[in-house]
Amino acid sequence: MPVSDQGVSNDRYQLIPRTLIFLTRGESVLLLKGAPHKRIWAGRYNGVGGHIERGEDVHSAARRELLEETGLIPDDLWLIGTVIVDTGDDPGIGLYVMKGSCAEGQARPSEEGDLEWVAFNEILEKILVDDLPLLLPRVLKQKVSDPPFAARYSYDEREKLVVEFSD
């Protein structure tokens, strides 16, 4: 099918593709504490990730982001879910949530912030970005054989995050 038949136009809903990656090591997950200078999420914990660049597929982008932000190469990495972030009239975000493991290697900090292997039972003691208290339990229980989850994030009239999972 040629590009002209794809039905793409500026009046259609558009998404900016991003990755969100969670690496595990034993009973810990690697989280990034946002650097103090960050405009958003400064001092708050999140997974690693970023934009998918033109010409990249989801896996290539996730591996690139991991290497850039952590210096780590995962032992395995797979898609565990998708999240559509509805931002209103602006283009939304298509978030590809990935999970993997990394048995060896020292994570190195980057401009994005400091990395920390956080024990599963200590996650909720950290100051997390708004969606992680709901998202991380799904991420951590997800197995390779499980189908990917689907979720939608939106914001209410008070700009409070609303999280909906399709199941």
Q: What is the CATH number of the domain that holds 30?
A: 3.90.79.10
The answer to the question of residue 62 being in a domain is: yes
Q: How far is CA 1 from CA 11, 13, 58, in A?
A: 21, 21, 22
The pLDDT assigned to 10 comes to 78
The answer to the question of residue 106 being in a domain is: yes
The pLDDT assigned to 54 comes to 96
Widest CA span in the chain: 51
**Is-contact 93 48, C-beta < 8 A?**
no
The answer to the question of residue 43 being in a domain is: yes
The boundaries of the domain holding residue 17 are: 13-165
The answer to the question of residue 2 being in a domain is: no
Q: Which two tokens stand for residue 106?
A: 């020292």
| Per-run averaged pLDDT (10 residues), the chain, 167 residues | 74 92 98 91 95 97 96 97 93 97 92 95 96 96 96 94 92
DSSP code string of 69-103: HH----SEEEEEEEEEE--TTS-EEEEEEEEEE--
The pLDDT assigned to 4 comes to 72
Q: How far is CA 66 from CA 36, 89, 91, 120, in A?
A: 20, 31, 25, 20
The pLDDT assigned to 113 comes to 92
The answer to the question of residue 121 being in a domain is: yes
The answer to the question of residue 8 being in a domain is: no
Q: Which of 24, 27, 30 is nearest to 100 (CA)?
A: 24
Q: What is the pTM of this model?
A: 0.93
Overall number of domains in the chain? 1
The answer to the question of residue 156 being in a domain is: yes
The answer to the question of residue 85 being in a domain is: yes
